[in-house]
């Protein structure tokens, strides 16, 4: 890939990562309370993975570390949400 393609790739990751805030804001406004929808975590993870790939290409250790740690947190939150949903399905007939 050319430098231009990598920059576009990085920008796509940043847009995905930023979309999480827009989604959180819209859902919170609809519910009239602060809430974090599951889509927040998916956009966080997707944007983070794209940005991590971009950071690895750029060989930027600070950027790599930041995106690596974030990805672990986003995956864990998705696992917790999934486990809670499974537990609720067991309780509800």
DSSP codes of every residue in 43-69: HHHHHHHHHHHHHHHHT-HHHHHHHHH
C-alpha pair distances (Å), 1 with each of 6, 47, 50, 51: 7, 19, 15, 16
pTM of model > 0.85 = no
Q: How far apart are CA 69 and CA 72, in angstroms?
A: 5
How does pLDDT run across 41-61, given as a tens digit for each residue?
999 999 999 999 999 999 999
CA separation (Å) from 39 to 17, 45, 46? 11, 10, 10
Q: What is the pLDDT of residues 24-43, one digit of tens each?
A: 999 999 999 999 999 999 99
Question: How does pLDDT run across 66-88, given as a tens digit for each residue?
Answer: 888 888 999 999 999 999 988 88
Using 50, 70 and 90 to split pLDDT, how confident is the model at 90?
confident
């Amino acid at each position: 890939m050319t430098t231009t393609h990598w920059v576009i790739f990085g920008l796509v990751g940043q847009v995905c990562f930023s979309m999480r805030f827009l989604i959180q804001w819209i859902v919170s406004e609809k519910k009239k309370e602060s809430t974090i929808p599951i889509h927040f975590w998916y956009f966080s993870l997707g944007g983070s993975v794209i940005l991590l790939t971009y950071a690895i290409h750029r060989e930027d250790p600070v950027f790599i570390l930041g995106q690596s740690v974030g990805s672990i947190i986003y995956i864990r939150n998705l696992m917790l949400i999934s486990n809670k949903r499974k537990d609720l399905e067991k309780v509800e007939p």
